[in-house]
Amino acid sequence: MFESLIAWISTTTVTLSGQYGVNPVIFGALYFGTMPLFALSVAWWIRRFRRGESTLFPAAVTGVLFIAAYLYVLVAGRNLPVWVYIFMAAMLILGGFSTWRQLKQGRVSAPN
């Protein structure tokens, strides 16, 4: 059962990769590889806010890290179905909301 599931995932990944032009290894590396950097950039952003310094650059870095994997799909993907765009938009909206709440909590706990 488990082996057949792994075989199906492997076959599907290779087929979809060729059909849509998105390399799942690159997507996975971007998605999971940017997570620690994203967390660090959020902390950097909050720290700069607490110090009263400019947060423009940390916000830009955080934004780029937040959308890196999805940006790769948009740039490299060919003939993607509409549901992929809807799914990516939903993921970005939910992730953005979650990040905003995290930043808001960091600002609330900032010393006055």
Domain ranges within the chain, ordered by starting residue: 2-108
Helical axes 56-76 vs 24-51, angle rounded to 10°: 170
pLDDT in tens, 46-88: 899 889 999 899 989 998 998 998 899 889 988 888 988 898 8
% pLDDT > 90, the chain: 30
pLDDT at residue 38, rounded to an integer = 92
**Which DSSP string do the residues of 25-85 spell out, in sequence order?**
HHHHHHHHHHHHHHHHHHHHHHHHHHHT---HHHHHHHHHHHHHHHHHHHHH--S--HHHH
Inter-residue contact 63 to 38 (CB < 8 Å): no
Mean pLDDT of 23-28: 88
pTM check: above 0.85 = no
For the segment 93-110, the average pLDDT, to the nearest whole number, is 77
